[in-house]
Structure 1
Amino acid sequence: MKLSSKALLALAISSITATAYAEPASQDFVPTTLASTSAQGEAKGFIEDFSLGGTTRNWYSHESKYRGGTFAYQKHGQTLTDRNRTNWVQGTILNASSGFTQGTVGVKTEVAVYNALVLDRSKRDIKGGSNRTLADSNGDAVDQWSKLGLANVQFRVSNTTLTAGRQNFSSGIVDTIGNRALPSSFQGVSFNSEEFSNLSFQGGVFDRVSPRSEQSLSKFRTEYGNGAETDKVSTLGVNYQPLKSLKTSFFAANVKDFWNQYYFGATHELGDAQQLGLTTGFNYYKTVDEGKKEMGEIDNDTFSLSLGLTHQAHSLTFGYQQVNGNEYFDYLHETNGIYLANSLTSDFNGPNEKSFQIAYAINMAEYGVPGLKFNAYSARGWGIDGTHYTGNNGRAKFAYDGIQSQDGEKHQEYGVGASYAVQSGPLKATAIRATYVEHRGSEFQSDGSIKEFRLVTTIPFNIL
């Protein structure tokens, strides 16, 4: 189960619909021309543009399972269980970044040190190691740990940048995930080219991921699979804006011996949010097995469609999502490579699952309190059917073992949240967010029944 900071209001869509535009969205065609400026031509210098800063995040979560669900932990050689789990971690990022050197080819370096300080160290509370609190082999919390989260060198010509080393990367298939005290990052080589006014290209080859709550680098594995690993992920894509109101994105990825995955996304804006604005979002994934088929035979089509209505401070969003395939819609672990409208506490990604969400958000800036927002949502999934799953076509170990018992499973989820961003003063841009989520699943639905309260405070800082 993917417990995400998107858990309230599916931020992938609420971030679109909560914005109030000053004028109607233009439907004008955008011609493709060469970029009018060169980013490298405006380089200030390696030292002259040096910066040192970062963020510190206080991340607290309390979960309670119900309807018979429990968490387990080891104590004095015995396995003990109870309903609750608490994680409380302070994550700090210190980022040192140079500017680009001047000249035809610019060079830049970036290094970021990640540090985690565990504030709740009770073995009973943290329930062993997880992607929330790092624990040793005995299940005891690692009180404090650090690592290089970023360490890369960048080369730039005009508006095209090549990055080598440990880095962030963002696309519909491979995307840094930052919903814990510290984010993930990737090791490899990537490029980003913005030589045209409304057309950009991205690509990368990565061999390791730096997980959110681990000190070492790891091979890639999938979020829902059998633990199989791969050491090569290649991706290539394009972002294109044909209209001022329409943005599109297409990416393809090869995950060696797992699958080939293709993604298409589009967002269209219509009207004036001060009167009535409509935002339409569409996301589609196609996944097929590849190479040694370590994840079994896969032929999966998954899509979501969202419609968001905005009137001044108020946003109402509807999201429909459907999985066409006898296995989960799956994606890479320690990534945010799931740009689907109903990816919440549950991803609503079971075999052949259909789901619907309704979400409401209010931006209190319209009422004189800029930075304060509230939201709520309710989502329901049904028709989960894994009875036709054939596994690895005769192999002893199924990629998604247990999925065959899911026959007509269903689940529901709701959540409420509040957030505030400081608008001025020494703590400007400090963000505080509180959320409460409750999820209830039928007997064999994979996410179970769980409640979670989460409180996250993120404070940015600049030293140089």
Structure 2
Amino acid sequence: MTILKWSAMLVGLGLVNTPAVMAAAFVSDQATAKGFVEDASLNLLLRNYYWNRDNQNGAPDARDWTQGLQGVFNSGFTQGTVGVGVDAFGYLGFKLWAPDEYAVPGYTSGNLTEGADGHPDSHYGKAGAALKLRVSRTLLKIGDQQPSTSPVFAVGGSRLTPVTVSGLQLMSSEVDNLDLEAGHFYSGTSQDQTNRDGSLWAAYANRPASAMDFAGGRYAFVDTPWSLGLYGGRLQGIWDQYYGNLNYTTALSDSQSLAVDFNYYRTTDQGAAKAGAIDNNTFSIAAGYSFLSAHTLTLGFQKVNGNTPFDYVGTGDDNKPGDSCFIANSVQYSDFNGPGEKSWKAQYDLNMAPYGVPGLTFMTRYVYGDGIDGTHLSPSSAYYGMYGADERHHETNLEAKYVVQSGPARDMSIKVRQAWHSATAGDPDGDANEFRLIVDYPIAVF
């Protein structure tokens, strides 16, 4: 996670993920359309991924080494009042090394599909496309997509190939500094599955839903360092969820800046309440101070209020959690989202560019959570029995990343991530040490 969760959600729009950068508009103007072919692009991403999760307390370990190819085609828009275009993707994944002993169902890395025998497949592929229609600065997309901007429904790409979902999304940037969006999605494909008709889920509750609907947007106050985000979403038959964000970012000098980010979720059961009664509000606040153009110190606090954990949407027939968890202390291994949990975070980021090594960055953080109490849950709740009383846990993360700056391998990145997580006996996250090595090589074909 980064200092500003609101900024982090804009990565899917190609935005640099730093507090000093203003968010790009969701939709550009149809008046700038150059043509379906003239403004088209085809990008490839070669991803080499080594995963090693050492589960403690007798749980099976997960280890594999994989190679992925992600191809993404984005057409331009036809000219005229209504612009028409297509976005399409094709993903391939290959097993380089994945012994069966480290691929126990329920404990896998999520980087490979599984065969009928439960063992990792040697390769897999999936593809999809969406039709897009643009009028003025309003865009409608229909089909297979990767929504990333909604804090109540977003899917991610932290494994070999990304999560995708099927449905409709409407985005509008007609008013300067105001971006609005709404969506209706009815199926999902997790990162380690290929069928396009997988379910949507309440991730922690492990209950399927027929559809996810959401609406909301963000507004950047003119000539001020403030921005505001408001969203609401309904996971059919399970919950209504509302989200608010207040973000403050200001430059203190040429080499110093301050960023404060507040996130709030309110979740209540809805309709058939298939996960049981839910009455939860969760908030986080993080403050980051950047200095000498290289260093950033961040402190965060997060609190879950209610008898249920903070939950969010999962995808695919195997219910892999998505990315709609815009709270400060959701980190590499744990979300620190247990019922009643309080958690604190301290994080340090270092950018080596001012010291003569552009492209090299480091990060370390520590998160501690306690006060988890799952003893007030009704036996009819989907979360019943998941948590004990007075549970606590902590996690330490280290990360190093280098992006090649020039030459034939320009923009290739090498990222090393390490997590150590330790918990009391009743915490469902358990004890684990996790190492990831990810090499990404993007290629712009045209």
Report the TM-score when normalising by structure 2: 0.90
Kept after mapping to 1: 8 A contact 2:3/2:287 = no
Q: Which moved more, 1:262-271 or 1:196-205?
A: 262-271
Letter in 1 for 2:409: L
C-alpha offsets along residues 183-203 of structure 1, whole Å, 9 cap, x if unaligned? 111100111101111101111
Q: 2 CA distance for matches of 1:297 and 1:59?
A: 40
C-alpha contact 2:4 2:260 (8 A) present in aligned 1: no
1:102 corresponds to 2:79: yes
| Paired residue type of 1:288 | T
Query: What is residue 30 of structure 1 aligned with on the other side?
Result: none
Pair 1:55 & 2:82 matched: no
Question: Are 1:388 and 2:376 matched, yes or no?
Answer: yes
Q: Which has more radius of gyration?
A: 1
User: Which amino acid in structure 2 is aligned with residue 242 of structure 1?
Assistant: F
Q: Percent of pairs identical after alignment?
A: 34
The residue type paired with residue 401 of structure 1 is Y
- Quote the residue 2:147 is aligned against: 169
CA distance in 1, matches of 2:307, 2:114: 35
Q: Describe the superposition over 1:139-171 as per-residue Cα deviations: whole angstroms up to 9, x where unpaired.
A: 2111111111x3110000011100000012121
Distance apart, 1:13 and its partner CA? 8.4
CA contact (8 A) 1:274 1:311 kept: no
Counterpart pick for 1:92 among 69, 86, 107: 69
Shift in CA distance, 38/320, structure 1 to aligned 2, threshold 3 Å: closer
Cα-to-partner distance string for 1:374-429 (whole Å, 9 max, x where unaligned): 1111110000011111143xxxxx411313x5100000110111001122233222
- Name 1:263's counterpart in structure 2: 243
The answer to whether structure 1 residue 132 and structure 2 residue 111 are counterparts is yes
Show CA shifts across 1:264-310 (max 9, x none).
Answer: 11221134264432110101000000000001000000000001111
Does structure 2 retain, via aligned residues, the 8 Å contact 1:419–1:434?
Answer: yes
Secondary structure at the counterpart of residue 422 of structure 2: strand
Please state if 1:325 is matched with 2:311: no
For residues 335 and 65 of structure 1, the distance between their equivalents in structure 2, rounded to whole angstroms, comes to: 22
Aligned letter for 1:199?
Answer: L
CA distance in 1, matches of 2:174, 2:145: 22
- Are 1:231 and 2:213 matched, yes or no? no
- Name the stretch that deviates more: 47-56 or 187-196: 47-56
Which structure 1 residue ranges, 5 or more long, are not aligned?
A: 1-5, 27-34, 72-83, 393-397
Match of 1:422 among 394, 404, 407: 404
1:274-285 residue pairs with structure 2 within 5 A?
274-285=254-265
Match of 1:362 among 350, 353, 370: 350
> Partner letter of residue 370 of structure 1?
P
Conservation of the 8 A alpha-carbon contact between 1:52 and 1:463: yes
Hey, what does 2:134 align to over in structure 1?
156
Amino acid across the alignment from 2:91: Y
Does the C-alpha gap of structure 1 residues 224 and 133 become closer, same or farther in structure 2, counting only changes over 3 Å?
A: same
Residue 438 of structure 1 aligns with which residue? 420
Q: Structure 1's 340 and 38: CA in aligned 2 closer, same or farther, altered over 3 A?
A: closer
Output one character per residue of 1:305-363: Cα deviation in whole Å (capped at 9) or x when no partner.
00111102111000100000101100001420000000011100001000001000110
Match of 2:220 among 241, 251, 263: 241
Aligned residue type for 2:431: S
Shift of 1:41: 0.8
Aligned positions, number: 424
Q: Secondary structure at the match of 1:366?
A: helix
Contact map agreement 2:49 2:437 (CA 8 A) in 1 = yes
Once residues 369 and 5 of structure 2 are traced to their aligned partners in structure 1, the CA distance between those partners, rounded to angstroms, is 18
Residue 328 to residue 460, structure 1, CA distance change in 2 (3 Å) = same
Conserved? CA contact 2:6–2:245, under 8 Å: no
Conservation of the 8 A alpha-carbon contact between 1:205 and 1:232? yes
**4+ aligned runs moved over 3 Å, structure 1:** 9-21, 273-276
Q: Which of 100, 121, 126 does residue 142 from structure 1 map onto?
A: 121
Q: Secondary structure at the match of 1:41?
A: helix
1:374-385 alignment runs, 5 A limit: 374-385=362-373
Is structure 2 residue 193 aligned with structure 1 residue 205?
no
Give the secondary-structure state (helix, strand or coil) at the position aligned to 2:97: coil
| Aligned mates of 2:82, 2:8 — CA distance in 1 | 36
- With over 3 angstroms needed to count, the CA separation of the structure-2 counterparts of 1:275 and 1:103, relative to structure 1, is closer
Query: Looking at both structures, which has the greater relative contact order when contacts are Cα pairs under 8 Å and sequence separation is at least 6?
Result: 1
User: 2:58 maps to which residue?
Assistant: 69
Distance of 2:277 and 2:32 partners within structure 1: 50
Structure 1's 15 and 327: CA in aligned 2 closer, same or farther, altered over 3 A? closer
CA distance in 2, matches of 1:453, 1:164: 37
Q: Corresponding residue for 2:341? A: 353
Q: What one-letter code is carried by the residue in structure 2 that aligns with 1:160?
A: T
Aligned partner of 1:339 in structure 2 is: 326
How far apart are the structure 2 equivalents of 1:249 and 1:143?
A: 43
1:146 maps to a residue whose letter is: G
Following TM superposition, by how much is the alpha carbon of 1:88 offset from its aligned partner in structure 2, in angstroms? 1.8
Asked if structure 1 preserves the Cα contact closer than 8 Å seen for 2:423 and 2:431, the reply is: yes
Match in the other structure for 1:194: 173
CA distance in 2, matches of 1:50, 1:194: 22
Q: Could you say if the C-alpha distance between residues 20 and 224 of structure 1 is closer, same or farther in structure 2, counting changes exceeding 3 Å?
A: closer
CA RMSD of aligned residues (A): 2.2
Q: Which runs of 5+ in 2 are unaligned?
A: 10-15, 315-320
Between the aligned partners of 2:50 and 2:358, the Cα distance in structure 1 is 25
Judged with a 3 Å threshold, the aligned counterparts in structure 2 of structure 1 residues 10 and 141 are, in CA distance, closer, same or farther, namely farther
The equivalent of 1:29 in structure 2 is: none
CA distance in 2, matches of 1:422, 1:308: 27
